[in-house]
Amino acid sequence: MKTPSTDAYSLILEAIDTGVFKPGDRLVESDLAERFGVSRTPIREALQRLETQSMLTRDGRSLIVASLDYNQLSELYTVRAELEGLAARLAAILPAPQSRSASRPSGYVRKRAAQILDGAETIRRDGRADCFES
């Protein structure tokens, strides 16, 4: 069940992920509340959560969208390469759904690999692993 806090968190995170808020942008509670149509309390809770996940950094009293330095970016690409390999291996060995024929279409493999990568992104973003459960 979504609460106003999780909705605010999801909205802000999506805005960061899609580039609406770019690294270095200052986020202001009142502006975000107005933009997303929620009260300031869920926005404040979402900002605190994003700060603890290092998605935001504090500059005095302001919260700024974090940017990656060279080492973080290099580490991210290394992890992504490993996850993509894992996703491909898992997609190749996972059984096809019962409703499908015995031969697995290549579209199914691509779909499962995409689901696994989405799950890995959820873990990176939210720190939870329940996204891999079917």
Is 79 in the same domain as 28? no
Is 84 in the same domain as 51? no
Q: Please state, in angstroms and rounded to a whole number, the distance separating the CA atoms of residues 86 and 113.
A: 9
Is 61 in the same domain as 102? no
- Residue 23 belongs to domain spanning: 4-65
Q: CB 74: neighbour CB atoms within 10 A?
A: 11
pLDDT at position 132 is: 45
pLDDT at position 6 is: 66
Total-model pTM: 0.55
User: Domain with 45 in it: what CATH number?
Assistant: 1.10.10.10
Domains in the chain, number: 2
pLDDT at position 120 is: 65
Residues of the chain under the 50 pLDDT cut: 128-134
Is 52 in the same domain as 75? no
Is 92 in the same domain as 125? yes
pLDDT at position 80 is: 80
Is 18 in the same domain as 43? yes
Is 60 in the same domain as 106? no
pLDDT at position 8 is: 93
Q: Please state, in angstroms and rounded to a whole number, the distance separating the CA atoms of residues 2 and 114.
A: 24
Final residue belonging to a domain, choices 48, 65, 82: 65
Q: Tell me the residue type at 23.
A: P
Final residue belonging to a domain, choices 65, 97, 116: 65
Among 66, 69, 56, 68, which Cα is nearest to 29's? 56
Final residue belonging to a domain, choices 33, 65, 97: 65
pLDDT at position 56 is: 93
How many helices (H) and strands (E) the chain has is answered by 5, 3
pLDDT at position 83 is: 85
39 in Cβ contact with 29 (< 8 Å): no
